[in-house]
Amino acid sequence: MTPANPYVFDAGLAGFEQDVLLKSRETPVLVDFWATWCGPCKTLGPVLEKLAAEFNGGFLLAKVDVDKEQQLAGYFQIKSVPTVMLVKDGQIVDGFPGALPEGQLRQFLAHHGITAKEAEAPAEPEAAPPADPHAEVVRLRAAVQAEPDKDELKLDLALALLRTGAAAEAEALLDALPANLAQDDRALRGRARLAFLALLRDAPPAEALQRALEADPADLRARHLLGAHDIVAGRWQEGLEQFLEMLRRDRGFEDGLPRRALIDAFRVVEDEDLVGAYRRKMASLLF
């Protein structure tokens, strides 16, 4: 089969059983007996190839050059070219001599129930598995050691350390960044994540906070800490929802803490669509 038209191929005696008879058990095969010196073949051949491409695998087109494959042509008792035969389920079921116009070719195919296949949607590329944060720290430590003057690598290392919970080392790296990188969006994201980690340093575990909220949904301190747990753990929507609920219940709590918590969370959350949705929700409550 040629790359330009994967449904058209040259057939010969050696592979005829495999390439035509066996394949016809799954897909109908038109066998086009032709010759280079044949004028009508030059008219029919391109139309058959065009239909094979258009039908997208609804049938296969096997091309047999009778001058090169005289034994095969003799086996099928080909007396003139072009001659076309239709093979289905390993058997010749129909055929015709001469060059039919395109309209009659379409009728011939339709008569035998041969229809075009729908084009397959391109496969979605598989998402790369998330990097192991500890392995990423090891890789970035080596990179920083190899290029100690490259501050961008130190920022990458700080962010990777934050994902492993190594807040103190990450903070030291962020503090040492030059001014231009200190205001980078990723550095600000790291600072916001640090703030959530610091908030949780002496906080109760998430399970205890969840029980406290079940007992008293108006406990905004517990809700704030539970939201921080969610953000740090990557449960971004759950965390944003906790902070939004704080805003619904009391926007002025602790001098505007619900709004500040949402803004800090927006810096940490890497899903832009999710951030956009919750920015709109926050705005609808504030204005």
Task: Tell me the per-residue pLDDT of 112-129, one tens digit each, with 9 for 90 and over.
Answer: 999 998 766 555 555 455
Q: Pairing mode, if any, of strands 83-88 and 60-65? A: unpaired
- Token pair listed for 128: 């790369």
Environment class of 121 (CB within 10 Å of its CB; exposed 0-12, middle 13-18, buried 19+):
exposed
What pLDDT, on the 0 to 100 scale, is given for residue 58?
93
Secondary element (H or E) of residue 65:
strand 60-65
- 144-170 residue pLDDT tens: 999 999 999 999 999 888 888 788 898
> Percent of the chain scored above 70 by pLDDT?
94
Determine the average pLDDT of the residues in 24-30.
95
- Token pair listed for 46: 């391109």
Residue 130's SS3 state is: coil
Environment class of 203 (CB within 10 Å of its CB; exposed 0-12, middle 13-18, buried 19+):
middle
Catalytic residue positions, numbered? 38, 41
Q: Which residues, including other chains, have CB under 8 Å from residue 8's CB and lie 6 or more apart?
A: 1, 2, 49, 52, 53, 60, 61, 63
Q: With 90 as the cut, is the pLDDT of residue 134 above it? A: no
Q: With 50 as the cut, is the pLDDT of residue 95 above it? A: yes
DSSP letters for 92-114: EEEEEES---HHHHHHHHHHTT-
Spatial distance between the Cα atoms of 279 and 18, rounded to a whole number of angstroms: 62
